Amino acid sequence: MRRSARPLAALLAAFALTAGLFTAGSPAAARSGEAATAAEASDVSTPADTYTWKNVRIDGGGFVPGIVFNRSEKDLAYARTDIGGAYRWNEAGKEWTPLLDWIDWDRWGWTGVVSLASDTVDPDKVYAAVGTYTNSWDPTNGAVLRSSDRGVSWQATTLPFKLGGNMPGRGMGERLAVDPNKNSVLYLGAPSGHGLWRSTDSGVTWSKVTAFPNPGNYAQDPTDTSGYANDNQGVVWVTFDERSGSAGSATQDIYVGVADKENTVYRSTDGGATWSRIAGQPTGYLAHKGVLDSATGHLHLTLSDTGGPYDGAKGRIARYDTATGEWKDTSPTAEADTYSGFSGLSVDRQRPGTLMATAYSSWWPDTQIFRSTDSGETWTRGWKYTSYPDRSFRYTQDVSSVPWLSWGANPSPPEVTPKLGWMTEALEIDPFDSDRMMYGTGATIYGTENLRTWDSGGRITITPMVKGLEETAVNDLASPPSGAPLLSALGDIGGFRHTDLDAVPPLMFTSPNLSSTTSLDFAEAAPATVVRVGNADAAPHIGFSTDNGANWFQASQPSGVTGGGTVAAAADGSGFVWSPDGTGVHHTTGYGSSWTTSTGIPAGATVESDRVNPKKFYGYKAGTFYVSQDGGATFTARASSGLPQEGNVRFKAVPGVEGDVWLAGGTASGTYGLWRSTDSGATFRRIEGVEQADAVGFGKAAPGASYRTIFVGAKIGGVRGIFRSTNGGAEWRRINDDAHQWGWTGASITGDPRVYGRVYVSTNGRGIQYGESSDGGGTDPGPGPDPDPPGDAGCSVAYKITSQWSGGFQADVTLTNTGSAALDGWQLRWHFPDGQKVGQMWNAAHRQSGPEVTAENVSWNGKVAAGASVSFGFTGSWSGRNTAPAAFASGGETCTIRG
C-alpha cells in the first residue's frame, strides 16, 4: 500500500486546480495477480446483496483532534479524527453520524482529516481537508472535500501535495477556514513547506497565496529519515476577524498561525493581499490555536514548545489586543512551573471575556483544564493539589455509558480513574449554550452540560459524548462457535469480548494489558480456550483465557520477544504456536509456562492452526507455505509456486474440514489474489476471477448448503468490496455498497458461525463493521422468465435521482401494485434515454442490454399485495446528460409515473 511520493515541483507551479468529483466504487486500475497453472472456475457476479451495516459498539477508541461548532445554527457541530473520518453531531440522539464511510480502498488516506470548516453564512456547507500522511506511506495526495448538504454527499478537489491527518502537529488548527462574511473565500494552511492556499469559489479551485511569507520551519525531529517526524508542520491555523468585513464583502483582517518558534503569528489587514509578522509576539513557542473573541477584540493564543500531540514540556497562553496592538502573557502558570504545553482553546460567544484552555501534554497525574471569565487575567483550574498527593476537583466524572474508559486501572494518588484524558487539543464551548462544552482526548470525546456551575464554585459533570463515533484500528477478529459472538484485537486499546454487538463492552482485555493486540485465536473444538498476543512496554506480550475471554492470565514468553506477531491455538486447546516479533517461531503445550523453538519455519512467519487436527499448524512467509504435523515442533515447506512473494498475506483454515485452507494477499504490482488448498498446503489452486484479495473468513453455511459461507475483502469483476460466496467460491456477490467502504479493510474478516450471513469486517480507524443479510440465504439463481401478470394488473412508478456527480449517480425506484390482485413475482422494465449504465443494484436483480434495463424481485420481496409497494435502488454512470426514463412497464402493463 506504499509507493513513492509524487514529485511536487511541477504541480506547485500551477496555482489553480480543477475540481473533480469523487466517484465511489471506481478504483484506480491495478494489475491483477498472475494466474496459477491450475485455476478454479468462478462465476463472478458483482451486484450487491441487500445488507445492513452497523458498528460493533465500542464508542470512541482514538484521538479526536478537532471539534467545530457552526456559529449561526444551534446544535450543528462536527468532529474530526486522525485516521477515522469526520462526523456530524445529531442532537436528537445525542450521537455522532459518520460522514466519510464512502471513501474507497484506493483513497484510504482520505480517512485522515487534518481540518474541518463549517460555513457560518450557509450552514448546509461543510468542508474537510483530508489526507493521512505527508510521506510515502500514503499513496494519494490530499484533498479538500466540500459538501452542500452537511456531509451527506461530497465533491473533492485533489491538491498538488499531501496532507497529514495522522502526522505530528495534527492537533493544531483549524488549518481550514471559511470567510464568515464572504463564504466563497476559504483558506487552507499546508504542511511540508507548501505555505498558505486560498479558494475564491467555495473550495472548487485552490491557488497558493504567494504573498504569504512563511511556510513554517518546525519539525518534530529533523534527523528522522522516514519523512514522518522530520516533516515541516507548516501553516497550522487561520482565524478571521469578522468585524473587518460585511455580508458579501471579504473579511480584511485575517490571522494565520505558523509552525515557527520565532515567527508564529501573521496578519493581513487587506483581505489577504499582503501579510506581516505581528510585532511583539511571544517567541520560543508554537501557537497551537488562535481564537479571536470578537466581542472584546482579543486574539488569544495557546502555545507549546513542540507541535504535539504527544509531546510538549513548556507552554504559555498569550493575548493580543487587536485595537491597541498590545501583547500580554496571560498564562495561568509561571513559566518556570510549566511542564506541559497549552493547546485546546475556546471562547464563550455568549459571555464575552470567558475562555477555556487545556494543558494538552500533561500526562501525569492528568490533563488540566483552565477557565477564565476576565479574558485571561485570572484563571481557575479543573483540579488542584490540596495537600500532596491529594487533589480537589471542580468536576465529577461519570463514564458509566463507556465503562472501559476506566482502563481497569487502580492507581495511587495523585492519579485517579477515570482520567480527564490526554492529548486534549480540542476543546469547544457551544456558541449557543454557555453550559455545554466538549473536548477531545486520545480515546474519546468528553463533555458537560452544566459548565457555568464551575464559576459558582460547584462541580460540573463530565460524561462521554462519543456515541456513534467509532475510531478503533482493528488488527484481528474471531467469532467462536459458542460463548461471545465476537472477540477483537485492536490497536491502542487492546481489544474486547463482545457479548452484545450493540452495547459498549465493560472493559478491554487486561492481565496482561497490551497497548495493541496484534493477533488472537480460540480453540475450535474448545472455544473457551483463547490466546492473544500484542505490543506492550514490557513483558509479557501474551495472555490466555479459559472462559472465552472473560478473564485472562499472563504467561511466560520466549527470550527476545519485542512485539506480538501472530499466534495460533490447537483445535482442542492442547497447545499453541507463536510467531512473535524479535525472535523466531515457538510452540508450547499447556498455557505457555515454557516455550520451545520451532524448526523448519523462518522468523516472522504468519501462523494459523488447522481447525480439526490439534497437531496440525500452518505458517506462511515470502511465498512459501509451511505445515507442522507435531503441534508446531517442526515445520515442513510445502507449496511455494504461484503464491505471492510480497504484500500482506493472510490465510485461514476452514472449520470442520481438515486441511482445507484459503489464502489471500499479494501486491498490485505482482501476484495478487485468492487461493485454496484441500491437502493441507501441499498444493494451492488460484480462484479464477478474484483479481485481488486481502482477507478471508468463514461463516455459517447458507440454508441447504453443505459448505461454509466464505467472506473476502477483494476486487472482483473490477470492483473492490466485501464479497461472499455460499457455494464454495464458485460464485461471488458483493455485500457492501459504495456508501459503505471504510477505506482500508485488509486486516481481518470473519463470518459468524451461528448466524447465517453475518460478517465482521475490520477497518483502520472506523472500528468493527458488521453486516446482516436480509436475503434469506442461498445464491442468486439469475434472471428467470417473466412472471405471469394477473388479469387486472396495474402499476405506478416513482423514479428519483437521490444524488449525482460527475459521471455517476444514485437513484431510488418505487413500484406500486395499483391492481386488485397481489403480485407473486414482478419485473420492471425501462429504457435509458441517454445511454446510462446501471452499476450496482440493491433489493432487486437486474440485467441490461444497451439502454434497456430489466429489474426483478429477489427472494424476499417478490410478493406485493394490492395497493402495496416495493422499493429498490441502484448506482449508475452517465455521460453528457442524465435524463430520467420516460416510461416503465411491468407485467405487460405500462405503469403510471408518479413525481
Supply the residues annotated as catalytic: 82, 492
Task: To the nearest 10°, report the CA torsion of 101, 104, 105, 111.
Answer: -50
- For 62, list phi and psi in degrees, rounded to 5: -150, 180
* Residue 574 CB neighbour total at 10 angstroms: 16
Contacts 24+ apart (CB under 8 A), 499-506: 501/54, 501/56, 501/57, 501/770, 502/54, 502/57, 503/57, 504/57, 504/58, 504/59, 504/401, 504/402, 504/403, 504/404, 505/58, 505/403, 505/404, 506/403, 506/404
Query: What is the spatial order of strands in the sheet that 113-118 belongs to?
Result: 113-118, 126-130, 143-147, 155-158
Give CA angle at 282 (278, 287), nearest 5°. 85
Cα–Cα distance, 745 to 108 (Å, whole number):
9
Best CA proximity match to 391, nearest among 409, 410, 366: 366
β-bridge mates for residue 712, sequence order: 696, 723
Q: How far apart are CA 139 and CA 143, in angstroms?
A: 13
* Burial (CB count within 10 angstroms: exposed 0-12, middle 13-18, buried 19+), residue 367: buried
Nearest-angstrom CA–CA distance, 7 and 22: 22
Q: Are 435 and 455 in contact (CB under 8 A)?
A: no
Q: Which residues contact 60 (CB under 8 A, 6 or more apart)?
A: 402, 405, 443, 444, 445, 464, 466, 469, 470, 471
d(CA 622, CA 893): 61
Cα angle at 588 between 584 and 590, to 5 degrees?
155
Containing H/E element for 13?
helix 9-13
CA–CA distances in Å: residue 822 to residues 345, 843, 855, 883: 63, 19, 18, 32
Cell numbers of 27, please?
478504483
**What is the 3-class SS of 215-282, one letter each residue?**
CCCCCCCCCCCCCCCCCCCCEEEEEECHHHCECCECCCCEEEEECCCCCCEEEECCCCCCCEECCCCC
CA distance linking residue 803 with residue 382, whole number of Å: 47
Give the CB-side neighbour count of residue 829, counting CA atoms within 13 A: 12
Q: Which of 698, 673, 710, 694 is nearest to 764 (CA)?
A: 694
Omega before 527 within 30 of 0, i.e. cis: no
Residues paired with residue 67 on neighbouring β-strands, in sequence order: 79
82 three-class SS:
coil
CA nearest neighbour of 530 among 550, 505, 506: 550
Counting Cβ atoms within 10 Å, is residue 210 exposed (0-12), middle (13-18) or buried (19+)? exposed
* 287 DSSP β-pair partners: 303
Q: Decide if 858 contacts 801 (C-beta within 8 A).
A: no
Beta strands in 636-787 (DSSP E): 636-637, 648-653, 661-666, 672-677, 685-687, 690-699, 709-716, 719-725, 731-734, 749-751, 759-762, 768-773
Contact 280, 265 (CB under 8 A): no
3-state secondary structure string, 198-215? EECCCCCCCEECCCCCCC
Q: Going by C-beta distance under 8 Å and a sequence separation of 6 or more, which residues neighbour residue 387? A: none
